[in-house]
């Protein structure tokens, strides 16, 4: 079994449950045992008691156009690295999913030797296993911001969630900081769920590009072409995607703070944390 795995280094690997993990080539070049986390000295920190609402996916199965199912979820670096900076700036967290089911992570991308990530993960693990249900959050009055981690899993059920859309409309109306990265911006499409008007028309954002997504099946990151295109769907609704590749870039447009890829996780945390602190300054 181990030999057959390495005979096909550019082919997505079928797991025991029939889903597909990325190829050995992708795992070797595209994942890391440690993150790029560098702690910052935040001279001014948040001293309030409002947590950041972390809206995660509880569905890690993405059916591709060829009907193969990609084993996805929230990317652990895209989730925990920005959260490390939010924590360092004085914030705590409240975690929620669509169904109230456990948060699903892309464990094949977990930075297994990063003690910072492992410690933070351990501190929020009980919330991840038993998160709140988005429908049970009546308003954002008690929250400091919304953070939507990336990973292809953010495209599975979050974009169709009427309840997430309701909360994002509220955040938009209040100018409450909304932070997301990579494929996480797909969740912004939830604002049009239930025949509502999309909240972010005319905004600028970065995200993981369709061009790159389209190439990944050729080296086995994805087991087939995407069921739909993140960038295209956002642009169709009137968001201007300002990046053409993934360079670790971030973008701030009003309350919306975005990063383009896992490589942006460190930069996004550094950029966003002070903005969140300043938003809540008395």
For residue 152, which of 268, 26, 240, 267 has the smallest C-alpha distance?
A: 26
* Residue 174: its H or E element: helix 162-174
**Distances from the Cα of 160 to the Cαs of 14, 128, 155, 194, 232, in angstroms?**
28, 21, 9, 8, 16
CB 73 within 8 A of CB 258: no
Whether residue 182 lies in the annotated active site: yes
Residue tagged active-site, from 56, 182, 207, 230: 182
Q: Distance between CA atoms of 41 and 37, rounded to whole angstroms?
A: 13
On the CB side of 228, how many CA atoms lie within 13 Å of its CA?
Answer: 14
Q: Distance between CA atoms of 234 and 239, rounded to whole angstroms?
A: 6
Q: Distance between CA atoms of 18 and 102, rounded to whole angstroms?
A: 21
Q: Which residues are identified as catalytic? A: 182
């Amino acid at each position: 079994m181990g030999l057959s795995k390495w005979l096909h280094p550019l082919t997505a690997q079928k797991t025991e449950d029939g889903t597909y993990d990325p190829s050995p080539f992708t795992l070797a070049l595209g994942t890391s045992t440690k993150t790029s986390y560098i702690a910052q000295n935040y001279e001014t920190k948040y001293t309030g008691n409002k947590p950041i609402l972390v809206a995660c996916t509880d569905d890690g199965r993405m059916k591709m156009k060829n009907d193969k199912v990609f084993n996805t979820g929230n990317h652990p670096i895209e989730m925990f690295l920005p959260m490390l900076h939010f924590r360092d700036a004085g914030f705590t967290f409240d975690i929620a999913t669509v169904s109230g089911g456990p948060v699903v992570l892309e464990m094949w991308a977990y930075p297994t030797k990063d003690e910072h990530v492992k410690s933070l993960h351990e501190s929020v693990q009980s919330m991840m296993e038993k998160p709140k249900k988005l429908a049970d959050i009546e308003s954002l009055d008690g929250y400091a911001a919304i953070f939507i981690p990336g990973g292809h899993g953010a495209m599975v059920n979050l974009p169709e969630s009427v309840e997430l859309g309701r909360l994002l409309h509220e955040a938009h109306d209040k100018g409450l900081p909304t932070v997301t990265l990579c494929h996480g911006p797909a969740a912004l499409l939830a604002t049009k769920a239930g025949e509502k008007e999309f909240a972010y028309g005319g905004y600028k954002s970065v995200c993981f590009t369709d061009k790159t997504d389209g190439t990944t099946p050729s080296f086995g990151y994805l087991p087939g072409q995407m069921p739909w295109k993140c960038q295209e769907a956002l642009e169709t609704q009137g968001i201007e995607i300002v990046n053409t590749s993934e360079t670790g870039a971030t973008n701030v447009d009003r309350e919306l703070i975005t990063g383009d890829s896992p490589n942006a996780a460190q930069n996004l945390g550094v950029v966003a944390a002070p903005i969140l602190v300043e938003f809540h300054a008395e």
